[in-house]
Amino acid sequence: MIVTNTETVAGYRIVEIKGLVQGNTVRAKHAGRDIAASFKNLVGGELKGYTELLTESRRQAVERMLGQAEQLGANAVVNVRFTTSAVTAGAAELYAYGTAVVLQPGRDG
Amino acid sequence: MRRGAHSVDPSEVEAKRVLRLEAARANVDDAVQYSVWDEPALSTELTSDSDSPRLTYADWLSWRIETTSVGTTWRVTILVILAAGPWAILGALIRSTLFHAWGILLIAVVAPVVEDTMKIAVALWVVEKRPYLFRSPFQILLCCLAGGLAFSAIENVMYLSVYIANPSPFLIVVRWTVCVVLHVTCSLLAGIGLVRMWSAGIRQRVPPKIRVAAPWIVGAMITHGLYNGLVTIVELTGHNPW
């Protein structure tokens, strides 16, 4: 599966558009990680627990988006975008969307 | 341009591990939530030629209803009835905390909201997430009845043995009759809402909507709140019948 945030893919042409695909998630770490992060906040540096949280959320949102693209029989998702929301405190909320397409090697035109 | 290799985010490895574990636990009941075939943005004109299997909520629900035996639905009903007890304890604890920490107005507002939610919480989860696990409205009403009975029994024990020293025989009788009837009535009112929510979902093969049940659940809360408010006003005006 080709995933790109550009509208076209060099060396390929879009032969079919399958439609909008999307994936979202709202994730949180357990209370222990929240407490540890609040202590780390005092001394500064990377809050690794929250970095993990954001990474997990991003990957899960992308996987769900790709799952929808597979259901549609697409072999690529172009024009991928990410956005966040604010549903609840202490959680990472990711929304990924793009256009599912069928690509074939070759040039447009 | 920087010289040397850039470091890779170590959280990617951990995230991969965590998501792999979660994926191993996932099943078709979870997958249906993320299926593209129920998306409002799906362009059917673009996907009509797709030959991949189409997982829709309607198909999933029909399949689940067909493959779930009546025996299983009764086992689930019994489990929900048994779970009503622990949830009722939690509800009673939250309620007692609220009563001691906050004022009179909340006795008639917050307490009914918490209690009437907790009494039907387990049954509501099943109706909303796994509606095929109930086969008839009777099972749902039975779960709500059990929730009301369990809650009132636990509340009475807490009241009459912990919070109130030397309760009068009249109070004991009132608590085991009027209060039990009140809790059961409110639970059954909310249960009617759950039945309507469940029936609409099963009939139309769509996810059950809480807004269908909301008027009945709110009605139960208002009935409960009116009773609580009335009793509190009577007590505050010096006409304490207990």
Distance from CA of A107 to the nearest CA of B (A): 22
CB contact under 8 A, B46 and A48: no
Cβ atoms of residues B137 and B195 within 8 Å? yes
Residues present in chain A in total: 109
Measured between alpha carbons, how far is B231 from B150 in angstroms, rounded to an integer?
Answer: 22
pTM over 0.90: no
Measured between alpha carbons, how far is B113 from B158 in angstroms, rounded to an integer?
Answer: 19
Model ipTM?
0.70
Sign of CA dihedral B152, B158, B161, B165: negative
- Which residue in chain B has the smallest CA separation from A70? B52
| Residue spans per domain, chain A | 2-105
User: Both tokens of residue A89?
Assistant: 């405190």
CB contact under 8 A, B14 and A52: yes
The pLDDT profile of chain B, 242 residues, written as one tens digit per residue, is 667 777 778 888 888 888 888 888 888 888 888 888 888 778 777 776 666 677 889 999 999 999 999 999 999 999 999 888 778 778 777 766 765 555 667 777 888 888 888 889 999 999 999 999 999 999 999 999 998 998 888 888 888 888 777 878 888 888 898 889 999 999 999 999 999 999 999 999 999 999 999 999 999 999 999 998 888 888 777 766 66
- Which residue in chain B has the smallest CA separation from A23? B34
Measured between alpha carbons, how far is B79 from B74 in angstroms, rounded to an integer?
Answer: 9
Which residues of chain B neighbour A22 with C-beta distances below 8 Å?
A: 39, 41
Q: What is the CA radius of gyration of chain A?
A: 18
CB contact under 8 A, B12 and A70: no
Which residues of chain A neighbour B35 with C-beta distances below 8 Å?
A: 68, 71
Cβ atoms of residues B213 and B197 within 8 Å? yes
Cβ atoms of residues B94 and B118 within 8 Å? yes
In CATH terms, the fold of domain A2-105 is Translation Initiation Factor IF3 (3.30.110)
